[in-house]
Amino acid sequence: MKTIIEPFRIKSVEPIRMTTRAEREQCIEQAHYNLFNLHANDVLIDLLTDSGTSSMSARQWGGVMEGNEAYAGSPSFYRFEKAVKDLMPFKYLVPTHQGRAAENILFTVVLKEGACVPNNTHFDTTRANVEAQGAEAVDLVIREGLDPVSEHPFKGNMDIGALEQFIEQHGVKNIPMCMITVTNNSGGGQPVSMENIRATRAVCDRYGIPLFIDACRFAENAWFIKTREPGYADKSVREIVQEMFSYADGCTMSAKKDALVNMGGWLAMNNEDWAVECRNRLILTEGFATYGGLSGRDLEAIAIGLDEVVDEDYLRYRIASTAYVAEHLAAEGVPTMRPAGGHAVYIDARRFAPHIPPLQYPGQSLAVELYKHGGIRGCEIGTAMFGLRPDGTEVAANLDLVRLAIPRRTYTQSQMDYVIEVVHEVFDQRAALRGMKFTRQPRALRHFTGHFDYVD
Ligand SMILES: *Cc1c(COP(=O)(O)O)cnc(C)c1O
Q: Which of 48, 125, 139 to mutate to test the pocket of ligand 1 (most atoms within 8 A of CB)?
A: 125
Mean pLDDT of 344-371: 97
Handedness of CA 140, 85, 406, 101 (dihedral sign): negative
Task: Name 403's Cβ contacts closer than 8 Å, sequence gap at least 6.
Answer: 47, 344, 345, 346, 378, 379, 380, 381
HSE on the CB side for 30, CA within 13 Å? 9
d(CA 415, CA 156): 29
Share of the chain above pLDDT 90, in %: 93
Across the range 347-357, mean pLDDT stands at 97
Q: What is the pLDDT of residue 443?
A: 80
- Domains annotated on the chain, with CATH: 21-50+311-454 (3.90.1150.10), 58-309 (3.40.640.10)
Decide: 102 and 94 in contact? Cβ < 8 Å: yes
CA atoms within 13 A on the CB side of 293: 20
Q: What span, in angstroms and rounded, lies between the C-alpha atoms of 120 and 160?
A: 10
pLDDT, one tens digit per residue, over 398-453 is: 889 999 999 999 999 999 999 999 999 999 999 999 999 999 998 878 899 999 99
Q: Are 251 and 214 in contact (CB under 8 A)?
A: yes
214 in contact with ligand 1, CB cutoff 6 A = yes
3-state secondary structure of 379: strand
Query: Is there an atom of ligand 1 within 6 Å of 96 CB?
Result: no
Residue 51, ligand 1, Cβ within 6 A: yes
- Alpha helix (H) residue ranges in 401-444: 413-428
Question: Mean pLDDT over residues 163-170, rounded?
Answer: 97
CB-based contacts of 391, cutoff 8 Å, min separation 6: none
Ligand 1 atom 4, closest CA: 99
The pLDDT, as a whole number, for residue 104 is: 97
Q: How many angstroms separate the alpha carbon of residue 93 from the centre of ligand 1? A: 18
> Is residue 356 over pLDDT 90?
yes
Query: Tens digits of per-residue pLDDT, 255-307?
Result: 999 999 999 999 999 999 999 999 999 999 999 999 999 999 999 999 999 99
Tens digits of residue pLDDT in 22-49: 999 999 999 999 999 999 999 999 999 9
Mean confidence (pLDDT) of the chain: 96
pLDDT in tens, 212-256: 999 999 999 999 999 999 999 999 999 999 999 999 999 999 999
Contact 152, 142 (CB under 8 A): yes
Dist CA 186 CA 451 (whole Å)? 24
Residues 6+ apart with CB under 8 A from 347: 329, 334, 335, 336, 366, 378, 401, 402, 404, 423
| pLDDT given for residue 177 in this prediction | 98
Task: Give the mean model confidence (pLDDT) for residues 153-167.
Answer: 97
Question: Best substitution site from 100, 139, 408 to test ligand 1's pocket, by max atoms within 8 Å of Cβ?
Answer: 100
CA 430 vs CA 45, 316, 327, 375, 403: distances in Å: 21, 34, 20, 17, 17
Q: Which pLDDT value is given to residue 445?
A: 80
| H-helix or E-strand spanning residue 451 | strand 451-454
pLDDT at 237: 98
Q: Mean pLDDT, to the nearest integer, of 341-370?
A: 97
Cβ of 242 less than 6 Å from ligand 1: no
Distance 56 CA to ligand 1 centre (A): 19
Rounded average pLDDT over 340-357: 96
123 lines ligand 1 (CB under 6 A): yes
**Spacing, Cα 435 to ligand 1 middle (Å):** 31
Residues β-bridged to residue 345: 404
Amino acid 456: pLDDT: 83
